[in-house]
């Protein structure tokens, strides 16, 4: 008997460092070719302070908060809502370790990241945060062909 397949949503961000280095097209192509992922929403944006601070609110008390917010405001980024089977863990494997030097060969961060801070992409860390983060950047009307089994806040 085949185990239940869990379809999840996760947020992906192609960060300002990768967009500035003109790697966005190659990274998007990697997402499109991944057999588990369906891009359900995508937008190019330039985060303002309020958006960046709100998104990273969980890190507000950490010493790197201001540096992170400033970095995310430093240029355009691409946010994507990704749906797929076990999307959160599959996406974390796909993007690789936070430190590109420790990332597996073939992962996004190994190919395009240059440091822990400039690691090219963001990925949600749990199914709960995946939905929360997708909802932060997307209205339900901006998502296409989604699996309506997801819970939307």
Q: Hey, which residues are catalytic here?
A: 122
58's tokens: 């969980």
| Residue 113 to residue 26: CA distance in whole angstroms | 13
Region label for 86, one of left (φ > 0), alpha (ψ between -120 and 50) or beta (otherwise): left
DSSP E strands, 15-76? 37-45
> Are residues 8 and 88 in contact, defined by beta-carbon separation less than 8 angstroms?
yes
């Amino acid at each position: 008997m085949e185990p239940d397949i869990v379809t999840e949503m996760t947020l992906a961000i192609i960060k300002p460092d990768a967009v500035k280095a003109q790697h966005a097209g190659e990274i998007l192509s990697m997402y499109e070719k991944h057999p588990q992922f369906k891009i359900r929403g995508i937008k190019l944006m330039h985060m303002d302070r309020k958006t960046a601070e709100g998104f990273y609110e969980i890190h507000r008390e950490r010493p790197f908060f201001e540096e992170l917010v400033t970095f995310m405001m430093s240029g355009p980024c691409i946010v994507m809502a990704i749906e797929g089977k076990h999307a959160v863990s599959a996406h974390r494997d796909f993007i690789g370790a936070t430190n590109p030097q420790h990332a597996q060969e073939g992962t996004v961060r190994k190919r395009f990241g240059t440091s822990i801070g400039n690691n090219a992409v963001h990925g949600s860390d749990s199914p709960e945060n995946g939905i929360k983060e997708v909802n932060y950047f997307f209205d339900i009307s901006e998502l296409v062909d989604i699996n309506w089994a997801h819970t939307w806040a």
